[in-house]
A and B are shown apart, each in its own frame.
Chain A
Amino acid sequence: MGAVTAGGLRRSAVTVFLLVALLAAVGASLALGAVKIPLHEVIDILTGKDAPGPATQIVEVLRLPRTVEAILVGAALGVAGAVLQGALANPLASPDVIGVTSGAGFGAMLIILLRPEDLDLLPVSALVFGLLAAAMVFSIGFSGPSGGGVGRVILAGIAIASMFAAGTAALIAAYPDRVPSGIFFLVGGLTSDGWNSLEIIWPYFAVGFVLAAFLVRPLDRLMLGDDVAASLGSRPRAIRLTAAVAAAVLASAAAAIAGLVGFIGLVIPHIVRLAGGTNNHTFVIPVSALGGAALLVAADTLARTIRAPIEMPVGPFMVLLGVPVFLWLLRKVV
């Protein structure tokens, strides 16, 4: 009984810590930028007390949508990683493994390099090709006389990802003068373009998060092994397929907005498991969402302020913030 209480306390502490970290990161994201706006003015703007002007535009049109995007993208990638690692029972599983990242990268580069005048189509193209890559992986991984399996999904994922990566490389080689516009997408980064991208992509986030919420208990049963899960009335194959679809939708939507941000999906669920001391998905999935959101908001704030007015890609800053924590936990807990 005492052990359960200690475990519960530890998980509560981790949840509260990440919640506070997320709130602090959101505060910093809204308050800091290339233009200095005093904190009280930011609060006045957000509460509707400040008169319209450049500061109001900066906070309402640029910083607020970007912060919301960072929260959603970070949460989506954290959840996608947690769901995939649980469903495939593989600690190295992440959206990269099911080809989503490479597919989305190819879709984005198609628009950036071939149709730069139609940049509005970038999120849609990234989403479509991300989902297409995942669909190809699943159709190969879960079909055939033996019904497929986790090993086949992972191998198919590597092959399909390589195929799309090769396509991206070919596009880059063909259009060298336009490549700089695409680099930001390939290394991952948010941009300040108001609510445009979110207006198109939010339904995919909604579908992905709802599917992930329904998967919490089935994934816990899957941890007991396929036979035990089946004896409890679950259908392991259906759970894996649903999990893969949820992860693909979330990761594609994230890539459509922020480019290829690879680190969160792989590492955040591990950090959450190590810190919370449990593999229970009731804890791991929602807290991975919190952790992913906190890390991406914090990293994006650093990326756009450290060399302001020049904005840096967010990827290196996520690694800078996340890897020391991950290695410290790895050394301390495992």
Chain B
Amino acid sequence: MTSYAIEAEGLQKSFGETKALKGVDLYAAPGTVHAVLGPNGAGKTTSVRILATLTKADAGWARIGGYDVAKQAEKVRATIGLTGQYASVDEDLTGTENLELIGRLLDLSKRDARARAAELLEWFDLTEAAKRSAKTYSGGMRRRLDLAASLVGRPAVIFLDEPTTGLDPAKREDMWGVVRRLVAEGSTVMLTTQYLEEADALADEVTVIDRGQVIAHDTPLGLKRVVGGQRLTVQPLDPARLAEAAALLQQVSGNKAESPRTGVVSVPVKDDAALTEAVARLSAAGIGVTELSLHLPSLDEVFFSLVGRRAGDDRPAAQTPGDRTPGDKTPADQTPGERADTESSTPVAV
């Protein structure tokens, strides 16, 4: 029998008239990272809240480390650590006091609570700010303190609800490092994210949910196989040379170039070797560029491939190709580092 660290079947939840979850199944093996990928309002947070015993499901069941979230909530709470979407630290307390309080609530002795707090503050690079009240912390520091607070009890299962939303790319890398270390130490991590890039970087398996339903469950590789690999995007300095650049990219990749927005061409490529070649050819042809980037298919593109419509768009995209514009982004998702991931790609004749 396979034992899962996290397993949930048929989770349903309504808030008034709104059906937030319409039967979600989730599984994660011990010692793995499981990413729950989906746009805003897909049901990611609701799923995590049910698994973390904060919300009761209307139907379905879930077990964490073998404990039923509804019937053995206290056992589940002793097993998990939860870091919410909004940093839930006490702003009036210092970093140390926040962590020591959690330690005391987890029945650590005073001395152990203090030692664990110091250890975590050190790990999360907060030692210097340890004696300052958390209201003086930057957003990134609060996130780290919040994460540290969820790790005080060395939980076997850790839920991270959009841990990197709003963080700049460097801070995001740091957070990824933390997740990798947690898994290396044996924990199971379930994280929700809006970024395919993040799921790809961290997850062993990915569940894609949309409007309260699972629409795909696969490894990141498997998902990308559905969607297609990386894309190379070029914006020539001189818009008049767009067609020339497009022809060049087609030669490099062997794929047809598309124009996701005015003045930009992009092609699917097999690996990053294409980038070097494209740079060499563009410079040989004397085409100056204002943008040259290699990126993974965006969540938008995953959705487009899986359900035939844009994330957050109610219309089936296949029927209304002309309506898709570069403005078709899910709002509030945009961090500076994510720009390249959210370009739509309307095919045009180049």
Q: Do A and B bind each other?
A: no
Write the residues of chain B forming the contact surface with A, with a CB cutoff of 8 angstroms: none
Write the residues of chain A forming the contact surface with B, with a CB cutoff of 8 angstroms: none
